[in-house]
Amino acid sequence: MKPILNLRDFLDILRRENELLTIDVPVDPYLEIAEIHRRVIGRGGPALLFTNVKNSSFPVVTNLFGCDRRLELAFGRRPLDFVRDLVNLAEHLLP
């Protein structure tokens, strides 16, 4: 797999892997996005891309790293292996 160089690349991968839900209806950035996000996380759902945020010219994306699968897609390895390697590195570098 080619390296992910930017957010757009990562979103394309999530789309291809059915790990991204695009929400095109207008949403309020004050509490509404957070509540939708909370409900989706509670059910182990996908990352969310809100494309029509009221009073904003920018989209909002949430829950990018909400599960091991998306972490693996982003970083290319199992999260616990990554953490184990970091701990091992720190133990060998620190006196």
- Indicate whether 61 belongs to any domain: yes
Bridge partners of 61, per DSSP, are: 49
What pLDDT, on a 0 to 100 scale, did the predictor assign at position 79? 65
Name the strand (E) or helix (H) holding 35: helix 32-42
- Indicate whether 2 belongs to any domain: no
Q: Which domain holds residue 88?
A: 7-93
What pLDDT, on a 0 to 100 scale, did the predictor assign at position 47? 98
**In whole angstroms, what is the distance from residue 62 CA to residue 90 CA?**
30
- Indicate whether 88 belongs to any domain: yes
What pLDDT, on a 0 to 100 scale, did the predictor assign at position 90? 82
How many domains does the structure of the chain reveal?
1
Can you say how many angstroms the Cα of residue 36 is from the centroid of all Cα atoms in its chain?
15
**In whole angstroms, what is the distance from residue 18 CA to residue 24 CA?**
17
- Give average pLDDT by consecutive 10-residue segment, the chain, 95 residues: 86 97 96 95 95 97 92 79 79 75
Whole-angstrom CA distances from 62 to 15, 47, 50 are 14, 6, 8
What pLDDT, on a 0 to 100 scale, did the predictor assign at position 75? 81
pTM, entire model: 0.79
